[in-house]
């Protein structure tokens, strides 16, 4: 084990509610039904992929230019919502998990499909805790494709087999496994059944990782 690659939303911070509000406003503007249950389908999916899922319920078709305009509108609203984020918005155990990885000499990466990841990290005050942050704007294929996790491993200079991926979304776990990495799910086992192990939150991250290091369950020894 030489590197740990984290997702952002739902793992380190919870911007899901802000995404929900922004997507809900867009859906309402297009007379498309949108609720919390539907929002679950967007977890781990990039912006354009999420838009496609929402517009599938519309009564008309949209040109590429119209889709881009709608996506930009959603993002603008979302950015106003996250403008007031601060370190208080970090999820419990997040900083401790990042610090533990660095203390063990592990490389730390971020693989978020959010194009606002850099802004969010800065607002949270944790940019310096990552060795590499994938720029989602440079990724051609979103999760569940493994591209973003493979990019993170490559830039960290670590073989994917020596990486652990941490995700809260089923699509993200699929991406981690497709990249050939050990997958830690954060959330409910029933939803994240593809993960190699599941924890309720990052408060349990240190103990779980120490157990993996001792048992070699992560298909490799810890650094």
Is 115 known as a binding-site position?
yes
Is 61 known as a binding-site position?
no
Is 25 known as a binding-site position?
no
Identify the DSSP state of 166: E
Is 50 known as a binding-site position?
yes
Is 167 known as a binding-site position?
yes
Is 42 known as a binding-site position?
yes
Looking at 9, 131, 162, 196, which residue is catalytic? 9
Q: What is the C-alpha radius of gyration for the chain, rounded to an integer number of angstroms?
A: 17
Is 207 known as a binding-site position?
no
> CA distances (Å), 135 to each of 49, 114, 116, 124, 207, in order?
17, 9, 9, 17, 30
Is 9 known as a binding-site position?
yes
Q: Which of 104, 107, 131, 155 is nearest to 4 (CA)?
A: 107
Is 74 known as a binding-site position?
yes
Q: Which of 2, 190, 174 is nearest to 102 (CA)?
A: 2
User: Does residue 64 carry a catalytic annotation?
Assistant: no
Cis ω on the peptide bond leading into residue 144 (within 30° of 0)?
yes
Is 168 known as a binding-site position?
yes
Alpha helices in the chain (DSSP H): 16-29, 36-39, 47-55, 64-82, 94-103, 117-124, 147-156, 170-178, 205-215
Looking at 7, 131, 162, 196, which residue is catalytic? 7
Distance, in Å, from the CA atom of 56 to the CA atom of 1, rounded to the nearest integer, reads: 42
Q: Burial code of 54-68, b = ≥16 C-beta within 10 A, e = fewer?
A: bbeeeeeeeeeeeee
User: Does residue 7 carry a catalytic annotation?
Assistant: yes
- Binding-site members for substrate are 7-9, 23, 42-47, 50, 74, 112-116, 143
Give catalytic residue positions.
7, 9
- Binding-site members for Mg(2+) are 7, 9, 167-168
- Binding-site members are 7-9, 23, 42-47, 50, 74, 112-116, 143, 167-168
């Amino acid at each position: 084990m030489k590197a740990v690659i984290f997702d952002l939303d739902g793992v380190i911070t919870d911007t899901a509610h802000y995404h929900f509000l922004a997507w809900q406003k867009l859906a309402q503007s297009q007379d498309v039904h949108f609720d919390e249950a539907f929002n679950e389908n967007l977890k781990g999916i990039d912006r354009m992929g999420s838009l496609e899922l929402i517009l599938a319920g519309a009564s008309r078709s949209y040109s590429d230019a119209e889709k881009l305009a709608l996506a930009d509108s959603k993002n603008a609203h979302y950015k106003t919502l996250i403008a007031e984020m601060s370190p208080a918005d970090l999820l419990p155990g997040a900083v401790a998990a990042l610090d533990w990885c660095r203390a063990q000499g592990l490389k730390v990466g971020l693989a978020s499909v959010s194009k606002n990841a850099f802004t969010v990290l800065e607002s949270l005050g944790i940019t310096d805790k990552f060795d590499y942050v994938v720029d989602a704007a440079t990724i051609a294929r979103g999760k569940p494709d493994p591209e973003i996790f493979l990019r993170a491993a490559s830039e960290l200079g670590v073989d994917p087999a020596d990486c652990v991926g941490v995700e809260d979304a089923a699509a993200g776990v699929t991406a981690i496994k497709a990249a050939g990495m050990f997958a830690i799910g954060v959330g409910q086992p029933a939803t994240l059944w593809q993960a190699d192990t599941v924890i309720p939150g990052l408060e349990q991250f240190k103990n779980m990782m120490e157990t993996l290091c001792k048992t070699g369950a992560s298909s490799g020894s810890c650094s």
